[in-house]
A = this chain, B = another copy of it.
């Protein structure tokens, strides 16, 4: 039995290596540079090994997305916990979210832009994704205001943040005034 367990451990370790390497390569040179050949070379295995762990490139992106979603949730929770007062928490959340997107553009894309073959906004949505949304909801639900569904408010606020994050990084918005846009968003959307 021990032999089999060791093999499984090693296999799991290699899978983590694949995901970590894909993420690293994507952050360094963009997702286009994450080819199965380059990835295989970096983990020092041949190409087909990747396919014994994942169905294809899509699933690898999906794995990075799940890992990233867990991190995003943690980052958001840490930021909101450190602030006091509902409004300050919302500020902290917004800054933490945009900061995560700016610091981990490839991971952010894996979660929210690319096709990782993951189901979103459904019952069978993977736990990390649900939890990331929950992390937003925990904070934003408090400032939805009367008569507004907390879930709906969270979705809307999140969409606004997402728009800022993606448009800024894609060069569609000048990066200088980000702080002011965030302030405007928080001031107007959140009901103290």
One of A15-23, A79-87, A183-191 at the interface: A183-191
Q: Total interface residues on A, using CB and 8 Å?
A: 32
Q: How far is the CA of A172 from the CA of B153 in the complex (A)?
A: 15
Complex interface: chain B residues within 8 A of A189 (CB): 188-189
Residue pair B171, A163 in contact (C-beta under 8 Å): no
Complex interface: chain B residues within 8 A of A121 (CB): 171-174
A148 is an interface residue with CB less than 8 A from chain B = yes
Counting every copy of the chain, the complex holds 2
Residue pair A159, B153 in contact (C-beta under 8 Å): no
Query: Contacts A166-B162, A174-B121 given: A184-B148 contact, CB under 8 Å?
Result: yes
Closest CB-CB distance, A162 to chain B, in whole Å?
Answer: 4
Closest CB-CB distance, A32 to chain B, in whole Å?
Answer: 10
Q: How far is the CA of A159 from the CA of B180 in the complex (A)?
A: 13
Instruction: Write out, one digit per residue, whether chain A residues 154-190 have a CB within 8 A of any chain B CB (1) or not (0).
Output: 0110111111101100111110010011001100110
Residue pair B152, A177 in contact (C-beta under 8 Å): yes
Closest CB-CB distance, A35 to chain B, in whole Å?
Answer: 16
Q: How far is the CA of A103 from the CA of B177 in the complex (A)?
A: 31
Closest CB-CB distance, A116 to chain B, in whole Å?
Answer: 11
